[in-house]
Amino acid sequence: MTNRHGKCCDGFGFDDIDADGIEPVDDAFIEDMTEHLRSSRREQGPEMANRQWMNGPLDFWLDHLDDHRVDHDEDVLAALAVGMDESLSIRDALLLSLMLRRGECDRDVLMDVIARPSTPEVATTVRDMMFDLFGDDRGPDVERCRTGIAMFSSMGLMMPRRLTVQPLASIAYILWWLGDRRAPLYALRSLAVDDSCSLAVLVLTAVSKGARPRGCACQ
């Protein structure tokens, strides 16, 4: 892996962070990371490969959410962005960690979501947590969500355009959860890169129907 700095991504504005000092990551560096994860998933299987890939980055992510602290660490954010692009279970675990409050984010459960999302026990756990979240009058931890949005935004500014799909869609989802009117904008930005992104479509559909969680900040 050589020099990580390359051309800047044009056409994306991220409102929640100061972009000064954030440099784009070189395509060759990302391609090396992507091939490494793909080969690991082929050789070891998705469960083991995903666990190993996220072993450090997940701890970094959770620590920063708990402390409401943003860090633009290139290597970690690149690992998260590549992981989200290659395995949607990684994206889903990161989103779940934002919607749950501090102390409610069991690392082992999140790692199971990352590694074994289709097993009945994990699917049931996620379903039950989502049901509770949608009915929770307290609403989201806004500062926790802002921290996550800032790190997703950093990914969007650093990554090659093709890897901005899931960070953009994730921002859209969390903004929708917060009742922020910018949610459709970010969903459309995601779809402009990949018009098959199901999470972005979900956000636009929910907004068009006026659907929102019970504790949504806009209420």
Residue 97, C-beta contacts closer than 8 angstroms, at least 6 positions apart = 61, 62, 65, 105, 110, 148
DSSP SS3 for 129: helix
CA angle 116, 88, 156 (to 5 degrees): 145
d(CA 39, CA 36) in angstroms, rounded, equals 5
Query: 165-178 and 183-193 helices cross at what angle (nearest 10)?
Result: 160
Q: According to the model, what pLDDT value does residue 214 have?
A: 67
Across residues 81-105, what is the average pLDDT? Answer: 93
Q: Which tokens belong to 89?
A: 């279970």
With 60 as the cut, is the pLDDT of residue 96 above it?
yes
More confident residue, 212 or 99: 99
Q: According to the model, what pLDDT value does residue 20 have?
A: 58
Name the DSSP letter for residue 119: S
With 60 as the cut, is the pLDDT of residue 69 above it?
yes
Q: According to the model, what pLDDT value does residue 175 have?
A: 93
Across residues 118-139, what is the average pLDDT? Answer: 86
With 60 as the cut, is the pLDDT of residue 84 above it?
yes
Q: According to the model, what pLDDT value does residue 101 have?
A: 86
> Are residues 197 and 190 in contact, defined by beta-carbon separation less than 8 angstroms?
yes
Q: According to the model, what pLDDT value does residue 12 have?
A: 37
What residues form DSSP beta bridges with 5?
25
Across residues 104-114, what is the average pLDDT? Answer: 91
Q: According to the model, what pLDDT value does residue 216 have?
A: 59
With 70 as the cut, is the pLDDT of residue 18 above it?
no
Q: Of 52-56, 128-132, 171-175, where does mean pLDDT reach its minimum? A: 128-132
Q: What's the whole-model pTM score?
A: 0.88
With 80 as the cut, is the pLDDT of residue 17 above it?
no
Residue given tokens 């929640």 in the structure block: 16
For the chain, what is the mean pLDDT? 87
